[in-house]
A and B are shown apart, each in its own frame.
Chain A
Amino acid sequence: MSELIIEGLCASVEGKEILKGVDLVVKSGEVAAVMGPNGSGKSTLSHVIAGRPGYEVTGGSVRIDDLELLDLPTWKRAEAGLFLAMQYPTEVPGVALRDLLRASARTSDDPEEIESRMQAEAERIGFGAQFLERPLNVDLSGGEKKRNETLQLGVLRPAFAILDELDSGLDVDALRIVSARIEQATEEDGLGVLAITHYSRLFDELRPDTVHVFADGRIRESGGPRLATELEETGYERWVQPAAATKPSPALSDDPFADPLG
């Protein structure tokens, strides 16, 4: 039994503060859903947790139990059990999935075992064997990339996975298969999941324990699974600050992007 603990996490990009004190705890076997408007900082949260270059962490902590992840290079975080399924997986020309999995500190040194896990996972999510030979994400369709991320999750068996819009790009059948695979991992391996999404259809198979509204760089409200369907109906208006309320009148504004009718 482990915990992924995010506490007071603040981060900025190019001097602009994006994460403004994120607090969230995910326990082994649990699914925490994070939903929020475009541009609110959800992907930023996932990148900062994984240690992507280009972000400045200005405060807070991210731990797996007692281990501070923010002090570690990305690969050590992964070795410690963190996995990130990216919203836009990066193309890595000339590098095959097999090479990546063999080089990972999370897999054994036995190429045969990696091979058999790869084949087994591909079969579980109906991912054609031909994709295993292709360079990572190069010329893969949007949905194929997401299946590829899921396959890697299956082989690497992380303790915690951040899924950044894993559902985007997947057709309805693929979504069902992929989300069922993640649900199984929570049950069989005690995987803890932080699932970022815009649509509650992800939760037909992958059952969330908690749902969190993420807006303007932090968690604004938390609730049970019903909150997800509620959000789909009502949207995020309640949490998105109306610009006019906090801004001076247009005549006095030096913000070129201010709404002139505000």
Chain B
Amino acid sequence: MTALRKIFARWLPVYAGLYIVFLYLPVVFLPIFSLNTAVTPKFPLEGLTLKWYEELPNTPALLDAAWNSLVVGIAAAILSTVLGICAARAITRYRFPGRRTINGLIMAPLVLPEIIVAVSMLLVILQMGLDLSLMTVVLGHVLVCIPYSLTVLTSGFEGFDRSLEEASADLGETAFGTFRRVTLPMVTPAIISSLLVSFTISLDEFIMAFFLTGTKPTLPIYIWGQLRFAAKLPGVLALGTLLLVGSFLLLTIAELLRRRAARRSQNTGGAFA
């Protein structure tokens, strides 16, 4: 037993190292090959260039796709955050029968196979006689984003001491004034964080978009389309790199905001807060 444990202890760091390499190596290749002069992604690199990046703005189809993604992302972020606020408020503030079940149902899309959910949504939308469009993509993305929104918002709202709102009323403030001066400033970081997370997820989401989009592609769909042409690969890599950096930045900001919100709502009072 102890011998086994010793072997584990010795090899665990190696395993962890390999695991991380396996996970992140492709991510590192992306920016590297996007700077390569040659079209085929092969080592050694032929030379360094920024031309693939420079070509990006000159591709109208790409600009269209980017615009579509932006519209879908903003709409999905707002919708999923608004719905998330309602759910998070109910879950953190009230004790009602079925609270856990409802929480579970909202979180479910996180673990369901996305392709199954996407196909089901497609069926439902066709049954309802709706045309596929960016609107239907937004609906699909809201479903995918809500679990993340809910998680971020719940952590921001949790521990929001109800007596803060009572204290505000006690000091003479109206219901609206209380919302403006106490509730809003306290939950704003969590809300912004939820918007950023949802937007980022929507931006890279492929499966839902693939099934639910009509004739207008989003960025991931556009990228997938481009992969058929070997010559377009470096452009796709450049675009992917930009998406990667953008997503990373947005998620970092979101996490910083989420932590700030959680810290605030945990420090409201004495031992009873």
Query: Do A and B interact with each other, yes or no?
Result: no
